Structure 1
């Protein structure tokens, strides 16, 4: 069996059994598929892809999207899932076994995931507040009779679509005021942090508690939670799709969504948007996929699973566009305005446009509850899979310290508690400004593109694409499509390098709502967040080289060898095998 020391199967039978029991495995194939689907199908499918498709040429946008998917998305997706399954290790230890010199990629990805958990969960707090507000006699964002409304508040539904009308000067809709003045209660800038909003802080606490109990027992709880969190959003999306397609004006919205405009393909920004969407929605380069794959059985057909999951992800993005734009078409017809005035992306779509849309429907409270329940479950999936990735990586690095007794649960509680404390800054009146810095710099295109380049180079050129192909064949019984190998070698690093160069050349300073300019220290904070993760790669390299004997070239060669070829790492793994064998009851300690 190829390179057996790179995975747990090199242990003696009893020790192998104990190692698997301590670490855990998926209870069934369904748990892996649902957990992986929950990790990659999230808010980006609902609030980002449909708008990008509409903005960048409709159906023509699918051309660069599919090209990036085939050249970067699918190859990296297969790489990460297969790497986790082959090594039976999470996002850090998998690189120590494959190429110890680049172990820092694992630390970088887990730090990015931790930053993302702190910021991403705030969206869930907003969604919980909208969900609780939906259980009222009248939706609070449908009127201007609330304490937070200003004198210039207007209810858009009161206008007659058959009459030409324009909003009064300085007027703001009731939905926008609920978002800006009630939910965010936003301050004038990041310099004015303001007070913590207690209702949002309680919603944030609720979100963290739910995530904790989804992860606290490892894959035993994560897999079971995925049965609900991964399936219910599909049910809700189907319901919204059917309801949207039956609304008047729905096909008017679908036309704007998919009508092809080939001229847009000449704009380089369209291709950049397609590439960044692939990285954004497929959760690649974050270590989460490696973690999920590491709990598979060794002979699981991960190659086939990856294609099914990729098809499911992109299919969900396209279907969600029908659900969203059918409602937007109804809104534009109902209000008598062009669809470009109601189409939006990101939080604006979820917390302004769609709440406005449900006020136009019969039984608006029912549709509001359905929509925000779907948003919460889409977000919860990604959040607790991120937490599971962090816990798995730490447990793999320090198994004897974390897996004993209740230490894992206590460490998870500490991580959740620290995440909640940091998150309180994001639910202050100035928290929205900080949240955008996290979103722009932490999981930014340049950061993920650099990690993608490193991953493909390490597997393709240092460890060896042919060697990794043999590893996959050893697991699934046949070699994958040869095109995947050439993507690791040439396609992915070249395309990602070109995209990264273009992003750096087109760099513009971050602005809030395209108007507010951040102070200089806010940009410094953002770059610190980005560099603090990437710096883990060179720092770990220096540390690895310092602990190997020989000249620089000899150190580089030794540090780049996988565990199965590295006598230093092999000795450590053999020692671990002996210890586990003694724990299991072995008398002679021989392997």
Structure 2
């Protein structure tokens, strides 16, 4: 009788560079591109904001994107395994990113569910003209009168679509990297682009659209003297490109050995920015119509986030000729953008457990996704969902992601001194070569900008209670969540890697190193990396 194999499941990969690029764009293009960037740009000086935005893209966004690509592709693993292979002391960074993705996945799915329901509502303008605000917060979310808290009262019109979103996403994840994630992005991203392009064209022909575009693009040069505007640009680019989530580390590990990393990164970065500007045009053209209809100026109707998507746009749908089509296109685009981003977030978690435990794809997907889905439904299909979502998003995004990015660049650049290794790897195959300027931007400017943003958030969150929520509520879903992520990351690092894990045995990784001409250690047989004493995964 044959002995059961102890070899880990062979790691999957994207079918081609184009599939990777489409998947990376799908991860980067999310809800924030549509409902956050237009308002951030408007508040940051309109057309003048494009200057700090472009500076942030070139000096922080793209360099940090290359940083993630180099780590993932060079060390051929999910975030925990890639950082472990770099150095054992770096493994907690990977688990920190994984846990951040766990939290984000729980609440990101419910926003997709809201958008799915509003796609249906748009066909009938269910909310009623002039009643959009009350409909969303009252009838739809059934927001409790008691304020911030935790309720067990189930809201069916939110809960059932949320379950549907999770079923769709779990199926995509279970199909794998190539057949599931790759194919989903190759279908959804072109559809998203076409839908939003049609939405923009239709918005441009609305009465008052020119006023909206003037408000969006007219430069306020005085805003450039405000440090907060520059900080806003850097903060937005940082989150927009999905850096420090573990997403790009994981996705780049699925690329073939001889792949143009920097060329791919430039395509992803500029495609993401192009979509944001397109979103700004469409959104502000529609807001210009809304302002004219209400006999006010654009500043009186401009808003961001949930207010823009679920209050302002339904108002536009109610008042515009052909409004139902605008609503279906807008909310349908939110659904597609949300799904492509959510599957990238979940892939960070699934890939990490696959690498750690050596399990198969379907088993790992179910073990990961079902508990997260249950928590998501339990917390975010209730009458207090909006409060929990708001607090969790504000603290995990500001402190979790910002902090792990700050620690990562300091550790890799200044403690482990790995930037030369990563630069060499980027330049082996890439069409756009990086040098000392890239190292300076990542190792020096990166920590300065991230440190400034991090300290600014601490000052803002500690000076007054966030949104005047109760202290106990903020400690559970805010500060407590941030601290718990760090503690759990350390605990996960202490757990032993399975004998079937990719850290213990990975022929693909060994073949990659041999192909890259890295010599073996004559004493241990393990491959020695440039600037690394021994292979962290085998030590």
TM-score, normalised via structure 2 length: 0.87
Partner of 1:471: 425
Contiguous gaps of at least 5 residues in structure 2: 497-527
Partner of 2:283: 324
Cα distance change on mapping 1:134 and 1:319 into 2, 3 Å: closer
Partner of 2:113: 125
Contact kept? 1:99, 1:562, Cα under 8 Å: no
Contact kept? 2:413, 2:419, Cα under 8 Å: yes
Alignment partner of 1:420 is 2:373: yes
Partner of 2:401: 448
Aligned mates of 2:429, 2:417 — CA distance in 1: 17
Contiguous gaps of at least 5 residues in structure 1: 1-14, 144-154, 156-173, 545-560, 573-591
Aligned mates of 1:191, 1:571 — CA distance in 2: 47
Partner of 1:436: 390
Deviation (angstroms), 1:365: 2.4
Alignment partner of 1:385 out of 344, 360, 367: 344
Deviation (angstroms), 1:421: 1.9
Aligned mates of 1:510, 1:288 — CA distance in 2: 31
Cα distance change on mapping 1:392 and 1:563 into 2, 3 Å: farther
Aligned mates of 1:192, 1:387 — CA distance in 2: 25
Alignment partner of 2:44 out of 56, 59, 69: 56
Aligned mates of 1:373, 1:73 — CA distance in 2: 28
Cα distance change on mapping 1:392 and 1:542 into 2, 3 Å: closer
Alignment partner of 1:532 out of 472, 479, 484: 484
Partner of 2:97: 109
Aligned mates of 1:276, 1:569 — CA distance in 2: 33
Cα distance change on mapping 1:99 and 1:569 into 2, 3 Å: closer
Deviation (angstroms), 1:566: 4.2
Within-5 A mapping of 1:299-448: 299-399=258-358, 402-403=359-360, 408-423=361-376, 424-444=378-398, 446-448=399-401
Structure 2 residue matching 1:36: 3-state secondary structure: helix
Partner of 2:469: 518
Which structure: larger Rg?
1
Cα distance change on mapping 1:58 and 1:363 into 2, 3 Å: closer
Partner of 2:220: 261
Aligned mates of 1:176, 1:212 — CA distance in 2: 32
Aligned mates of 2:90, 2:538 — CA distance in 1: 20
TM-score, normalised via structure 1 length: 0.80
1:36-80 residue CA offsets vs partner (Å, 9 max, x unmatched): 000001111111110011112112222222222222211110111
Contact kept? 2:423, 2:435, Cα under 8 Å: no
Partner of 2:138: 181
Deviation (angstroms), 1:306: 0.4
Aligned mates of 1:341, 1:194 — CA distance in 2: 36
Deviation (angstroms), 1:533: 1.8
Aligned mates of 2:288, 2:536 — CA distance in 1: 60
Number of residue pairs the alignment of both structures matches: 497
Cα distance change on mapping 1:502 and 1:443 into 2, 3 Å: closer
Alignment partner of 2:163 out of 205, 219, 240: 205
Aligned mates of 2:223, 2:195 — CA distance in 1: 33
Deviation (angstroms), 1:570: 6.4
Contact kept? 1:101, 1:541, Cα under 8 Å: no
1:455-513 residue CA offsets vs partner (Å, 9 max, x unmatched): 2223323143222222222343774243211112211112222232233233344544x
Partner of 2:256: 297
Partner of 1:140: 126
Contact kept? 1:50, 1:324, Cα under 8 Å: yes
Partner of 2:208: 249
Aligned mates of 1:392, 1:530 — CA distance in 2: 23
Contact kept? 1:105, 1:536, Cα under 8 Å: no
Deviation (angstroms), 1:541: 8.2
Cα distance change on mapping 1:466 and 1:330 into 2, 3 Å: same
Aligned mates of 1:282, 1:568 — CA distance in 2: 30
